[in-house]
Structure 1
């Protein structure tokens, strides 16, 4: 009886006849290093193509062929996956802002535009916040679609404020509707009104009620994340949080907001007088949207972003490298 010469497969340490290991290595090198197709390998070695396929799979299983993914410069897949794992996100996009600590808007806008271009699908009903400079930067960088990729694009917070801010809100919604070939739907009301009584009356208006009913159809919502200190845009909008409202919100522990709904450091909603004056999507309807995408970054918004993640206000985050690193390394 002839005893076969046995070798050890590098990955498993399993004893395999040396002749078979030699064949596995030869097939693997021909396919992976020399770029030969399976039919060519089969013809060269006088074996069947199905056997070549089986040998290639066996070479991987035995560790003869090992796949190594080398991340290109500027790609942060591992960090994105850690964000998803730590905060239960559906997706995350991390962009290097080239050392910018304050003006991260251009880089975030470009990354968000790319994400929107590839993830909007036919039939989407998209909600969008009216007061985000980062979202406007993203939408302006989007490429117009040749076919319709969204059914409707609608505001989820009232859009009427100062004339300058109204131009911004109209431009944001109109541009997104144009590039996705969707029907634009505006909220015919101010985002913040003087009293809860006025807000309650507006919510009974037939035009406002018609828009509110459509919020239940949303498949994706695009938002910024606000800090307690209003952004320059919100200050100019006529919808800013007053000093008195800020004092109340701060006393209640608020650190940030999504769609003008404020939350504390753990992401729990803060029940304030201000919240009862907001004309916009309610918290329950917002959280029911399948894909809730936030585009936000910068040191000023770190606490608000972290709280929004902890409170599961969003499930997709597009942010900068410094913010993502802090979110995955700080307790």
Structure 2
């Protein structure tokens, strides 16, 4: 656990003084609680405030990055599940302990919290971070803690429009939260998730405005994504948001597709090059995605296990964050 002595940056002069006072109070409360082992009641008495205010100050200290909590988990002492996943699949695994009785939505929230706290320390200045949209990444984006970087860029991995919506609002909110958390510039990808015709994609990929985003994607230092799956407990957005019609779903079934990453589909053995729908998808070429140095995959729910196996068979992840139930099925089922 680290306590940062500097307060987080504040944009604009309005409210800066009040925010600064609150940040100083949050820092003092964090130092008393985490470094001096004082109880919240003792801190409340010393700061002449209420216990509930102290609780809010400690939450603020964590959310704004004043406090960074890290559980050291050396590989030689890692839980058996994580060790097994590392050995078998060659990825750095982070298993989130979750009881069987926890609901799908609560599992997602707890995985998202750990993913956000795992990703933060890995983000550096001068980074280009590709972010996919979807139910899992949306949840992760709500739990990011602030970490100021310099000259970093968040780039959208795949288009989000369909026949019912441009998808701009949904995708941009996810990207905005990532950009705000890390003080990074945000680059959206204003194209549909799928073109109607493969020839349209070929033509668009020759446009300079599109090539600029594709070039950023090719220079990514990190990619963050979930795994899409038709039958998951919490439906993947690409399958529930009107992106695929009946003909598309039949084509995916005919191609024996088990899942997708950033709307690029693959089979159980990881093969993907001849999947028909990929010719119209605006997601990153999976061969190019594998070249990114750090590829963080976040998965919540046992029902995504077939998609996850396919993604691992395709070698798409270097880091995997998943719940305990999914990890058990991945290893033992």
Compute the TM-score of the two structures, normalised by the length of structure 2. Answer: 0.71
Mapping 1:255-266, distance limit 5 Å:
255-266=258-269
1:96 corresponds to 2:97: yes
Supply the distance in 2 between the matched residues of 1:182 and 1:203 (Cα, whole angstroms): 25
Q: Residues 87 and 232 (structure 1 numbering): CA distance in 2 closer, same or farther, change over 3 Å? A: closer
1:143-178 C-alpha deviation (Å, 9 max, x unpaired): 112x21661100010133444843220100011011
Mapping 1:246-285, distance limit 5 Å:
246-269=249-272, 271-285=274-288
1:316 corresponds to 2:285: no
Do 2:229 and 2:236's aligned partners in 1 also have CA atoms closer than 8 Å?
Answer: no
Aligned to 2:178: 176
1:172 aligns to what SS in structure 2? helix
Q: Residues 311 and 233 (structure 1 numbering): CA distance in 2 closer, same or farther, change over 3 Å? A: closer
Supply the distance in 1 between the matched residues of 2:124 and 2:284 (Cα, whole angstroms): 23
1:245 corresponds to 2:260: no
Structure 2, gaps ≥5 residues long: 1-72
Mapping 1:80-91, distance limit 5 Å:
80-89=82-91, 91=92
Aligned to 1:140: 142
Supply the distance in 2 between the matched residues of 1:260 and 1:269 (Cα, whole angstroms): 12
1:256 aligns to what SS in structure 2? strand
Q: In structure 1, which of residues 124, 129, 133 is the aligned counterpart of residue 127 of structure 2?
A: 124
Structure 1, gaps ≥5 residues long: 1-70
Supply the distance in 2 between the matched residues of 1:154 and 1:225 (Cα, whole angstroms): 18
Q: Residues 267 and 235 (structure 1 numbering): CA distance in 2 closer, same or farther, change over 3 Å? A: closer
Q: Residues 136 and 237 (structure 1 numbering): CA distance in 2 closer, same or farther, change over 3 Å? A: same
Q: How many Å apart are 1:299 and its aligned residue?
A: 2.2
Aligned to 2:227: 225
Do 1:225 and 1:257's aligned partners in 2 also have CA atoms closer than 8 Å?
Answer: yes
Q: In structure 2, which of residues 185, 196, 199 is the aligned counterpart of residue 197 of structure 1?
A: 199
Q: How many Å apart are 1:310 and its aligned residue?
A: 2.0
Q: In structure 1, which of residues 283, 294, 298 is the aligned counterpart of residue 301 of structure 2?
A: 298
Aligned to 1:12: none
1:184 aligns to what SS in structure 2? strand
Q: How many pairs are equivalent?
A: 254
Q: How many Å apart are 1:303 and its aligned residue?
A: 0.8
Q: Residues 197 and 227 (structure 1 numbering): CA distance in 2 closer, same or farther, change over 3 Å? A: same
Aligned to 2:56: none
